[in-house]
């Protein structure tokens, strides 16, 4: 008689053990991509619908939504902290700590600069610049479906890199009226040295959200929304052959390079903006380094 309950207890323990073994182990958060300042992470978040990015000092950097497929595309700022802790709003998922490699962007000073070449001075120029600004803001507010960075990126034009992403430039010069100008700006694009008329191709599939031959600063411009919040921006084009709403495949011709807008010579300026789909406030979006996107392997 004494053995009965003991056997029962053992049986229960065996049953519990079997149940525990049958449950799949919780999948951790996993990221690949380029863990470098201005790079991009592609993270699989198996549970939860919100991912928080927290710095090593405990500061909330931002929150992003986790889509139904659990795949989060995460841009990293040019000055991202050296460590990020990713936490989903699901207690069964352990936080993931990611080390972010620092950049070492040079600082350049450009003297003897013709400030009137860049500044909108006349009423007509100011009106042109403000119309251009409105068009850009409207395009950045739309979000297209697409594979995002899943298929990787290819060079949009055949030519050497003439100016990488990242350096800060200080422009010192004069205006036509003799007054001086002095300002610092960061190069948030990736310049490819190509002559006027060279083919410009989509670096990844996407939907055109802006195709304009004549923005004030940018000249001939194309915005290409790849999905997952990633937008490619192409500037100074001599020809724009796509229009808003059009879908393009990777490698499709979207126009030709040029020397339009406020430039100092023919080249293609390619920039990529990461936008947080979890907020309507576009002020927190930022540019990432296109050269790092070229390092991304396609998702198998």
Q: Which of 191, 218, 228, 289 binds Zn ion (CB under 5 A)?
A: 191
- Residues between 69 and 98 that touch Zn ion (CB under 5 A): none
228 lies in the binding site for Zn ion (CB under 5 A): no
Q: Which is nearer to Zn ion, 62 or 169 (CB)?
A: 169
CB of 23 to Zn ion, least distance (A): 53
Contact 110, 172 (CB under 8 A): yes
Residue number of the CB atom closest to Zn ion: 269
Residues 39 and 35: their CA atoms lie apart, in Å, by 6
Residues 27 and 71: their CA atoms lie apart, in Å, by 13
CB of 257 to Zn ion, least distance (A): 12
DSSP 89-102: S-TTSPPEEEE-BP
CB of 219 to Zn ion, least distance (A): 12
Q: Which is nearer to Zn ion, 140 or 287 (CB)?
A: 287
36 lies in the binding site for Zn ion (CB under 5 A): no
Residue identified by tokens 């540019």 is: 287
CB of 187 to Zn ion, least distance (A): 6
269 lies in the binding site for Zn ion (CB under 5 A): yes
Residue identified by tokens 């979000």 is: 143
CB of 270 to Zn ion, least distance (A): 8
CB burial readout 47-67, b (16+ within 10 A) else e: ebeebbbbeeeeeeeeebebe
Distance of alpha carbon 163 from its chain centroid, rounded? Answer: 18
Q: Which is nearer to Zn ion, 92 or 264 (CB)?
A: 264
Contact positions vs Zn ion (CB under 5 A): 189, 191, 269
């Amino acid at each position: 008689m004494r053995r009965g309950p003991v056997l029962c207890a053992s049986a229960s323990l065996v049953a519990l053990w079997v149940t525990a073994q049958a449950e799949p182990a919780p999948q951790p958060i996993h990221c690949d991509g380029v863990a470098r300042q201005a790079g991009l992470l592609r993270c699989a978040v198996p549970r939860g619908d919100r991912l928080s990015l927290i710095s090593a000092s405990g500061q909330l950097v931002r929150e992003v939504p986790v889509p139904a497929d659990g795949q989060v595309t995460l841009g990293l700022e040019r000055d991202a902290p050296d460590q990020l802790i990713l936490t989903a709003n699901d207690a069964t998922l352990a936080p993931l700590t990611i080390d972010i490699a620092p950049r070492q962007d040079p600082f350049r000073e450009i003297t003897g600069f013709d400030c009137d070449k860049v500044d909108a001075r006349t009423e007509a120029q100011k009106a042109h610049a403000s119309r251009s600004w409105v068009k850009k803001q409207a395009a950045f507010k739309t979000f297209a479906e697409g594979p995002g960075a899943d298929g990787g990126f290819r060079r949009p034009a055949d030519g050497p890199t003439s100016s990488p992403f990242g350096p800060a430039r200080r422009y010192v010069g004069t205006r036509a009226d003799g007054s001086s100008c002095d300002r610092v700006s960061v190069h948030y694009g990736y310049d490819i040295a190509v002559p006027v008329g060279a083919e410009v191709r989509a670096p990844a599939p996407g939907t055109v959200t802006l195709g304009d031959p004549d923005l004030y600063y940018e000249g001939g411009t194309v915005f290409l929304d790849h999905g997952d919040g990633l937008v490619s921006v192409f500037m100074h084009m001599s020809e724009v052959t796509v229009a808003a709403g059009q879908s393009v495949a990777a490698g499709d011709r979207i126009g030709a390079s040029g020397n339009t807008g406020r430039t100092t010579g023919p080249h293609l300026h390619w920039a990529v903006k990461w936008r947080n789909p979890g907020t309507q406030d576009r002020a927190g979006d930022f540019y990432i380094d296109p050269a790092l996107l070229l390092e991304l392997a396609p998702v198998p």
